[in-house]
């Protein structure tokens, strides 16, 4: 069974950042959606309340005068629930009384015919059975008796959606003219007035709004995810480059661009462990520029730096692929040669010595400079001293061999096994 791949820190960062922002975006867009829903709901409720207020004002105006008489035209029926609803004038015209309930019902019929809205007044004990409350209105009246101030439902009839709003009607002194005998008292809920109007456009707007917000949420989320992913990739690359540069600076000698003392010793230590474990030889070469002080005194320290750089380039060019060359100290260089016996190491040192000897180094504003180097070669062999002691002894042997080369006249290779 394959092991599950563990997420990198960058992967964790991307997932965590995306989760946080997506959560914030979700809260934001849900808040926008809910706010829009509330705004539409408030608009519908406001429209219903305005209609109710208009109707109540009309009803109050009629009730204030105890009903209104209008000329009775052909086909107009008198209100049979009123005593003496008709009167005749001296001009022989007949007028019939329109009570508040009758007037509001007739206005409702006109509004319904025009398709605007319809409304009705109902009560717990209506005089006219046609004003008896429906199921919603009955429940609304019961809730009004419990102290509620309004009742709202949405109804679907013939694939059309309607907003049904109902508010309570309180008994006023003018109401007792018609309803006093029914036991009503001033201030109590005698019934309610309801208004119904089509809200298909509002429902369609809500659906469109929902799709728009959902689309914007998806678009914003995808855009953010892509932008975040690209940003993290760019940051990752920049940080990786910076990390590589810092690592290079921490392990590289500034002048020669070779590995520095710390890195070369760490490499030699690792190769020592490998040599001990697998019983393989390990050689190292230490070489030193002969009479570099003379060059500095004659041509200046800038020329001396040019000489060190040129020698390091020459030595690096003659290294094998798996050999490691570094600046050990001042004008001393250390080369690590894994799985290399003393004879091979000695041959490599001799090759480098000859290349340095033949080299003509050009320093700015100076004549060509020729220098030589002295080499010390040492080799660790399996079964020898291990650990740090073996490492330092190997370096000490190579260093001693180099000093023997200098003592023997410089520009030489000395080896010790």
pLDDT in tens, 343-355: 999 999 999 999 9
Two structure tokens written together for 118? 């319809």
pTM for this predicted structure:
0.51
- Site of tokens 């060509």: 368
- The 10s digit of each residue's pLDDT in 188-218 is 677 888 888 888 888 888 888 888 888 888 8
CA distance 291 to 298: 11
Distance CA 76, CA 78 (A): 7
Q: How far is CA 299 from CA 253, 331, 411, in A?
A: 23, 16, 21
3-state SS class at 259: strand
pLDDT class for 146, splitting at 50, 70, 90? Answer: confident
Name the residue among 354, 261, 262, 367 with its Cα closest to residue 311: 354
Where do the domains of the chain lie, and which CATH numbers do they carry? 9-64+99-204 (3.30.450), 261-416 (3.30.70.270)
- Please indicate whether residue 197 or residue 186 has the higher confidence score (pLDDT): 197
Check whether 93 has a pLDDT greater than 50.
Answer: yes
Picking from 377, 305, 321, 316, the residue whose alpha carbon sits closest to that of residue 352 is: 316
pLDDT band at 331; cut points 50, 70, 90? very high
Alpha carbon distance 46, 64 (integer Å):
26
How would residue 180 be classed by pLDDT, with cut points 50, 70 and 90?
Answer: low
**331 a catalytic residue:** yes
Is the pLDDT reported for residue 4 higher than 80?
A: no
Burial of 405 (C-beta count, 10 Å sphere; 0-12/13-18/19+): buried
Range name among 105-119, 232-246, 274-288 with the lowest pLDDT average: 105-119
Lowest mean pLDDT among 59-73, 90-104, 171-185, 241-255: 171-185
Residue located via tokens 């002194």: 173
Read off the pLDDT band of 89 (50, 70, 90).
confident
The rounded distance, in Å, linking the Cα atoms of 341 and 346 is 9
Higher-pLDDT residue of 398 and 87 is 398
* Sign of the Cα pseudo-torsion (245, 250, 255, 257, in order): negative
Cα end-to-end distance, the chain, whole Å: 50
Closest listed residue to residue 193, CA positions, set 249, 137, 155: 137
Catalytic residue among 2, 45, 331, 414: 331
Per residue in 268-284, pLDDT (tens digit) is 999 999 998 888 999 99
The whole-angstrom separation of Cα 15 and Cα 22 is 10
Rounded to an integer, the average pLDDT of 295-300 is 93
């Amino acid at each position: 069974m394959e092991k599950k791949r563990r997420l990198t820190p960058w992967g964790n960062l991307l997932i965590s950042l995306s989760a946080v922002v997506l959560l914030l975006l979700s809260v934001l867009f849900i808040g926008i959606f809910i706010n829009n829903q509330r705004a539409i709901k408030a608009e519908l409720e406001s429209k219903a309340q305005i209609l109710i207020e208009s109707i109540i004002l009309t009803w109050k105006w009629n009730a204030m005068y105890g009903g209104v008489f209008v000329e009775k035209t052909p086909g107009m029926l008198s209100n049979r629930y009123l005593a003496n609803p008709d009167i005749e004038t001296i001009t022989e015209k007949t007028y019939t009384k329109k009570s508040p309930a009758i007037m509001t019902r007739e206005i409702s019929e006109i509004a319904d015919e025009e398709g605007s809205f319809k409304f009705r007044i109902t009560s717990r004990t209506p005089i006219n059975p046609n004003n008896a409350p429906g199921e919603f209105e009955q429940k609304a009246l019961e809730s009004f008796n419990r102290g509620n101030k309004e009742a709202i439902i949405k109804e679907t009839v013939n694939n059309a959606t309607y907003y049904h709003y109902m508010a309570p009607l309180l008994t006023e002194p003018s109401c007792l003219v018609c309803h006093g005998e029914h036991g009503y008292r001033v201030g109590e809920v005698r019934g309610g007035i309801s208004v119904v109007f089509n809200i298909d456009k509002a429902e369609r707007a809500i659906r469109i709004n929902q799709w728009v917000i959902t689309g914007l949420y998806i678009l914003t989320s995808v855009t953010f995810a892509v932008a975040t992913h690209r940003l993290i990739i760019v940051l990752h690359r920049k940080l990786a480059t910076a990390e590589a540069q810092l690592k290079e600076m921490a392990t590289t000698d500034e002048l020669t661009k070779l590995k520095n003392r710390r890195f070369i010793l760490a490499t030699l230590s690792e190769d020592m462990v490998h040599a001990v474990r697998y019983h393989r030889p390990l050689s190292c070469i230490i070489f030193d520029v002969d009479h570099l002080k003379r060059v500095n005194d004659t041509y200046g320290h800038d020329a001396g730096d040019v000489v060190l750089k040129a020698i390091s380039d020459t030595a690096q060019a003659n290294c094998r692929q798996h050999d490691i060359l570094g600046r050990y100290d001042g004008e001393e260089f250390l080369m690590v040669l894994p799985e290399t016996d003393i004879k091979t190491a000695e041959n490599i040192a001799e090759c480098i010595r000859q290349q340095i000897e033949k080299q003509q180094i050009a320093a700015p504003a100076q004549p060509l400079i020729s220098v030589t180097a002295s080499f010390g070669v040492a080799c660790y062999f399996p079964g020898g001293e291990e650990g740090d002691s073996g490492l330092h002894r190997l370096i000490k042997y190579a260093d001693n061999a180099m000093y023997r080369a200098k003592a023997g006249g410089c520009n030489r290779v000395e080896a010790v096994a």
